[in-house]
Copies of this chain bind each other. A is one copy, B any other.
């Protein structure tokens, strides 16, 4: 808990209306979108400016108070759970678009802006910001940067990291630095822009970002390919790319996911098939037509039972929107939904899907799998119930095995969700002891007092997932 004096000091920085240490306020920010994790912060503070942030950080550094920067809390790795208490930093007062620069194709924003608001604003100018996490209607750019969010368009366009070209950062010592700029190229010193993207709020606080934009693609088309055989769908993914076509979107949904999504979105998805691929290509009209024809031929050769191009933009949008609802749809099945994002080289998608299903059977749990197949980024998702301790234990064991399998196939424990508190116990699988030590050295160098989002990325010894007491 903060002392009265500490609370007054925070109020002196941001104003009374921007400090909340009420029980209700603290409870509201004691968890994020990740199930099974909860921890009360001492207060919720909403700075109005970079200077405010710098003053708060200096204050916290002196008093050794943890700071948990938080966008909308849509992350799925317990990245914004206030694991060790302290202050949750909200960016509701720092949510402006500072500038859209049409000559340099950049947009400069404050961290609190909602991703979709940014996307809509730049699209009005004929510009395109590709990263589109499924949570984009509520997620913030600051959160996207902290977690290096992906999305449905990652295959062709890359992820958040590929669009961040400049940052303003308040370091754990309270000093403000700037990295990069409106620059296509910059090699002045270490690439701190990239180091901070995806650092999950553990190295400093992002207070402004300059993002690269690209011209809006001329047109796009969306295709739905149906399969009675999961591996045929996975093989289609590999074959499309091996044929040197890079679609904008290449999404996979298995039968249980299709059923859940159709029950939720009711757009007429076929529920009598084993898997579907949603494939989107964008670009100049002729190229889209040409690529879609080639993709259709490949899918058919790989035993797709039906390949249909969406007839209208509405139908196309219904498909991608339905895909974006997958988590919400699956969340309706059971009280608790555990969603993961093991990622493999895309050539291993078929092997990974097979392994997931074998592991689910072994532990007698249900796993629905969907995800960004073109990126090798799957979301095996388990509808379960936190009150069923026996099942939760089997779920934990199954996911540990899924992570190990992903690593065995040359993959990683997380493709786009981040490590946070949740996957910290598994990080060594990917990085090895020495890799973790090197990263810890960087963390300690920049944040010697460990005030920045402590308890994330680096696991406490021997700790696996923590299930909260119910």
A71 at interface, CB cutoff 8 A: no
How far apart are the CA atoms of A162 and B185 in the complex, in Å? 11
- Per-residue CB contact flags for chain A residues 243-273 toward chain B (1 = under 8 Å, else 0) read 0111000000000000000000000000000
Given contacts A147-B187, A187-B417, A442-B190, contact A181 B215 (CB under 8 A): no
Given contacts A346-B103, A441-B446, contact A195 B190 (CB under 8 A): yes
How many copies of the chain does the oligomer comprise?
2
Contacts of A335 in B (CB 8 A): none
User: Which chain B residue lies CB-closest to A213?
Assistant: B244
Contact B215 A185 (CB under 8 A): no
How far apart are the CA atoms of A185 and B159 in the complex, in Å? 8
Q: How far is the CB of A408 from chain B (nearest CB, A)?
A: 12
A465 at interface, CB cutoff 8 A: no
Contact A419 B187 (CB under 8 A): yes
Contacts of A203 in B (CB 8 A): 190
Contacts of A126 in B (CB 8 A): 244
How far apart are the CA atoms of A270 and B178 in the complex, in Å? 43
Given contacts A241-B103, A347-B103, contact A190 B199 (CB under 8 A): yes
Contact B287 A184 (CB under 8 A): no
Q: How far is the CB of A435 from chain B (nearest CB, A)?
A: 4
- Per-residue CB contact flags for chain A residues 366-398 toward chain B (1 = under 8 Å, else 0) read 000000101111000000000000000000000
A211 at interface, CB cutoff 8 A: no
- Stretch of A6-14, A111-119, A355-363, A425-433 on the interface side: A425-433
Q: How far is the CB of A189 from chain B (nearest CB, A)?
A: 5
Given contacts A284-B284, A286-B284, contact A190 B181 (CB under 8 A): no
A residues contacting B by CB (< 8 A) are 101-106, 126-127, 147-148, 150, 154-155, 159, 161-162, 171, 175-179, 181-192, 194-195, 197-199, 203, 214-216, 238, 241-242, 244-246, 284, 286-287, 290, 343-347, 372, 374-377, 410-419, 423, 427, 430-432, 434-439, 441-446, 457
